[in-house]
Chains A and B, each alone.
Chain A
Amino acid sequence: MSGPSLLWIDWRLAGRSTVRDLLFRFVLVSAASFAFLVLLLSGGSARFLASRYAITAVLRTTVSPGEGEGLAGKVAALPPVRTAVYKDPETAWREFLLAYPGLDSLRSSGGNPLPGYIEVRLRPERLTGADVERVTTALRSVSHVEKVLAGEARISRLLLVKRYAAAIAWGVFGAFAAVCLVVLVLQEKGRATALAADFAFLEERGVPAGRMAASRSAAGALAALPLAAAGVLLSGAALRYLLLRYPSLEQLVGPPGDLLLPRTMLAVAGFALCFALLAAAASLLGFRAARACR
C-alpha cells in the first residue's frame, strides 16, 4: 500500500459529491472570512469608539501656532496616538460658532477669547484605560498645555462598552465557527456513510482503517487551505469594494489599506490554517461517526 494514493481517496471514489461539498464549503468559508475580516479590522466596536473619542489639550493663550504645530507633532509620535492635530485659536473660534451659533457678540468685547488646542485621537487597538492615562499624563507635563480634557468621568463606561461589544462580536463569530464545524462534520459523516461499503472493501483487502481516516483527514486539510485562501481573497475584495463605495463604513471597519497590513495578512494566514485544521478534525469526526453507525 502506498500512502499518497489514499490521500485523494474521496476524489477517486466519490468525485462528484466531494466537489459539491467543497463548493458549499467555499460559500461557508467566504462568509466566515468576511465576518473575520470585518471583526479584525473593526476590533468589535473599537474603531467606531476610537473615531468618536478624542483627548483635547487646551493650550495656553501665549502659545504661538508654530509651537502648537511642533507640540502636536511630538504628541503624534506617542505610540498609542493615531492623530494629533493642532487647531489655532481662529479655527477654535469657528468651530465654537458652528456648535453655538449666535454667540458672535462674545468676541466684540475684546478679541478671540478662545485659545488654540490639540485634538488627539488614539489608535483603535490602543483605546485602553492605561493608554488614555499615558497620553493625558504626557500632555499634562507639558508647560504649554493649560488643561487636558479626556472625559475621565465617562472613559471607564466607554471602555466597558468596548469590551462587551468585542466579547459579543467574537462570541457570535465563535458560535458561527462552531456551526460551521457541525456542518463540516455532517458533510463528512454523510460522505463517509455513502462510502462505507467502499471502505469495507478496502479494509478487507488490507488497507487499515486508521490509515484511511488519516489520509482523508490530511486531504481534507490540504483541500481546505486553497479553499480558505480563495474565500479570504474573495471576501477581502468584496470588503475593499464596499469600503471604497461607501466611505462612511471606514468609521466602523477602517480604511481599505488596512487589509494589506502585515498583521492583517498574518491573521488571515492563521484563519486559513484554522479552517484547514477544522476540516481535518471534521473529517476524522465524520469518519468515526460513520463507522459507529455501521
Chain B
Amino acid sequence: MIEAFRLGIFARGATLWDGVDHAFGDGSVSVIVAPPSSGKTTLLSILRGERQPDAGDVVVSGESIFRGRWASIRTYRASCCHVAERFSDPAGHTVEDLFRLSAVAGGGRIPEGERRERQERLLAMVGLASARDWRLSSLSASERVRAGLAAELLRGPRYLFLDGVVAAAGSPYREMLGGLFRALAREGNTIVMAERHLPERWAAAAGEGTAAGPFRVYKVSVPATSMAAGEQAGQAAPAGGGIA
C-alpha cells in the first residue's frame, strides 16, 4: 500500500497544494483527476520517490520512501514503472531499444530469447504487433504511450504510475487499457493514473471519488473474477497474466 501523508508542494513563492492525504491500496486502480497545471505529474513523481515533497511523507509497506532504509527505497523504486504522456527520445531509439533498456533496468535477468518473446506478446497486446523496429520519434502519441507501457510491463513492475496515458492512447484503446489495468490489479499490482478527465465509461463505475487537496481520486472497480475483466479487456487479461 502506498500512503501519502500531508503532502505539500511550494512553488514560485506560493503553495501549489498542501495537506494531501490518500492511500492507494494493493491491487487497486486509482485515477487522480485534476485540471492542467495543478501538479498531477508532480504528485506522481513524489509517489514513486523521484521527487521529495516540501511537506509530508510517502510510506510504502510501513516505511518512508524518502527517510527509510536505502535498500528498501531502491527495491521500491525498482518495482515502480512510469509511463508519461510525453517523453523525449534524444537517442533515436527504436521500440526494441526501449524494451532492451527496460530489461536492463530490471536487472537483466530475462534471457535475450525470452525478452524477445515477451516483447512480441506485449506489443501485440497493446496493438503494436509489428512496431519492433519503428523509431520512437516516428510514433504517434497514442503509439508512444502504448509502446512505453508495453516496455515497462516487460519487467513486471508492482507499482504502475501512468501520467496521461489513457487520454493519449485515444478512444480505440481506452477500454483495452482499462481491461489490462484491471487484470494487472487483480494480480496484486497497484496502478495510479493521472488524467485531466475520467473517461466517461469508467465514471459510472468509479462513483464520486474522494477529494485529496486539489485532486479528485477515483477508484476503478476491479472485478473479483477474471471473466468480467476478460469481457472488457479482450486479449488483455490473459496476456497481462503472463507478464507479472
Residues of A within 8 A of B (CB): 1-2, 4-6, 9, 12-13, 194-198, 201-202, 204-208
Task: State the majority secondary structure of interface residues on A.
Answer: helix
> Which residues of B lie under 8 Å from residue A204 when comparing CB positions?
50, 82
B side interface size, CB within 8 A: 23
Task: Report yes or no: B50 in contact with A9, Cβ–Cβ below 8 A.
Answer: no
Task: Report yes or no: B91 in contact with A2, Cβ–Cβ below 8 A.
Answer: no
Task: Report yes or no: A205 in contact with B90, Cβ–Cβ below 8 A.
Answer: no
Task: Report yes or no: A194 in contact with B91, Cβ–Cβ below 8 A.
Answer: yes
A2 to B103, CA, bound (A): 11
Does B86 make an interface contact (CB < 8 A)? no
Task: Report yes or no: A205 in contact with B82, Cβ–Cβ below 8 A.
Answer: yes
Could you list 11 further interchain pairs (A-B, Cβ under 8 angstroms) beyond the known A198-B101, A201-B101, A207-B105? A4-B108, A5-B104, A5-B107, A9-B104, A12-B100, A13-B97, A194-B91, A197-B91, A202-B104, A204-B50, A205-B82
A-B pairs, 4 with minimum CB distance:
A5-B108, A206-B77, A206-B78, A205-B105
| A5 to B: closest C-beta gap in Å | 3
> Which residues of A lie under 8 Å from residue B89 when comparing CB positions?
197
| A174 to B: closest C-beta gap in Å | 37
Residues of B within 8 A of A (CB): 50, 74-82, 88-91, 97, 100-101, 104-105, 107-109, 155
A-B residue pair count with CB separations less than 8 angstroms: 56
> Which residues of B lie under 8 Å from residue A12 when comparing CB positions?
100, 104, 108
With contacts A198-B91, A198-B101 taken as known, whether A205 is within 8 angstroms of B107 at the C-beta atoms is no
Q: Which residue of A lies closest to B50 (CB)?
A: A204
Task: Report yes or no: B90 in contact with A197, Cβ–Cβ below 8 A.
Answer: yes
Task: Report yes or no: B91 in contact with A205, Cβ–Cβ below 8 A.
Answer: no
| A22 to B: closest C-beta gap in Å | 20
Task: Report yes or no: B74 in contact with A1, Cβ–Cβ below 8 A.
Answer: yes
